[in-house]
Structure 1
Amino acid sequence: MPADRPFDPALPIDLHTHSWASDGTESPAEVVRQAARAGLGTLALTDHDTAAGWGEAAAEARTLGLAFVPGIEFSSQLAYASVHVLGYLVDPDEPALRAETDAVRTSRVTRAERMVERIGADYDLTWRDVLDATDEGATVGRPHIADALVRKGIVADRDEAFRTVLHWRGGYYQPHHAPDPERVVRLIRGAGGVPVLAHPATRGRAVMAGERIAALVDAGLLGLEIGHRENDEQGRATLRHYARRYDLIVTGSSDYHGSGKPNRLGEHTTSPEMLDRIIAAGTGSDVVPATSTS
Structure 2
Amino acid sequence: MPADPAPSQTPWPFGAADLHVHSVVSDGTETPAALLAEAASIGLGAIALTDHDSTAGWAEAAAAVPETGVALIPGMELSTRDGYTSVHLLGLLIDPFDEALLAETARIRESRLTRAEEIVQRISRDYALTWDDVLAQTAEGATIGRPHIADALVARGHVPDRSAAFDGILDPRNGYAQPHYAPDPVAGVRLIRAAGGVPVLAHPGTRGAGLIIPEPRLAELVDAGLFALEIDHPENRETAKPRLRELAAKYGLAITGSSDYHGAGKPNRLGEQTTAPDVVARIVAEGTGSVPVLP
Bin the TM-score by the shorter chain.
Answer: over 0.9
Query: What is the correspondence of 1:237-248 to structure 2 with a 5 Å cutoff?
Result: 237-248=242-253
Q: Distance in 1 between matches of 2:36 and 2:262?
A: 12
Residue aligning to 1:235: 240
Q: Distance in 2 between matches of 1:236 and 1:276?
A: 23
Q: Distance in 2 between matches of 1:108 and 1:210?
A: 29
Q: Distance in 2 between matches of 1:79 and 1:95?
A: 26
Q: Distance in 1 between matches of 2:89 and 2:136?
A: 29
> Offset of 1:203 from its aligned partner?
4.2
Residue aligning to 1:8: 14
2:44 corresponds to which letter in structure 1? L
2:225 to 220, 223, 237: 220
Instruction: State the secondary structure of the residue aligned to 2:66.
Output: helix
2:127 corresponds to which letter in structure 1? Y
> Offset of 1:184 from its aligned partner?
0.3
> Offset of 1:50 from its aligned partner?
0.3
Query: Quick check: 1:18–1:257 contact (8 Å CA) kept in 2?
Result: yes
CA distances 1:30-75 after superposition (whole Å, capped 9, x unpaired): 1111111121001101000000111111111221111110010011
Query: Quick check: 1:90–1:285 contact (8 Å CA) kept in 2?
Result: yes
Change (3 A) 1:28 1:233: same
Query: Quick check: 1:62–1:288 contact (8 Å CA) kept in 2?
Result: no
2:110 to 103, 106, 111: 106
Instruction: State the secondary structure of the residue aligned to 1:16.
Output: strand
Gaps of 5+ in 2: 1-9
Q: How many residues align?
A: 285
Query: Quick check: 1:75–1:179 contact (8 Å CA) kept in 2?
Result: yes
Query: Quick check: 1:7–1:67 contact (8 Å CA) kept in 2?
Result: no
Query: Quick check: 2:11–2:278 contact (8 Å CA) kept in 1?
Result: no
The normalised TM-score by structure 1 is: 0.94
Q: Distance in 1 between matches of 2:67 and 2:254?
A: 29
Moved over 3 A (4+): 4-7
2:217 corresponds to which letter in structure 1? R
Residue aligning to 1:21: 25
Gaps of 5+ in 1: none
2:185 to 181, 188, 191: 181
Q: Distance in 1 between matches of 2:131 and 2:161?
A: 19
Q: Distance in 2 between matches of 1:33 and 1:206?
A: 38
Residue aligning to 1:90: 94
Residue 171 of structure 1 pairs with residue 175 of structure 2: yes
Identity in percent:
58
Q: Distance in 1 between matches of 2:95 and 2:59?
A: 13
2:151 to 143, 147, 151: 147
Query: Quick check: 1:203–1:230 contact (8 Å CA) kept in 2?
Result: no
Query: Quick check: 2:203–2:236 contact (8 Å CA) kept in 1?
Result: yes
Residue aligning to 1:66: 70
> Offset of 1:235 from its aligned partner?
1.4
The normalised TM-score by structure 2 is: 0.94
Residue aligning to 1:267: 272
Query: What is the correspondence of 1:269-288 to structure 2 with a 5 Å cutoff?
Result: 269-288=274-293
> Offset of 1:265 from its aligned partner?
1.1
> Offset of 1:13 from its aligned partner?
1.3
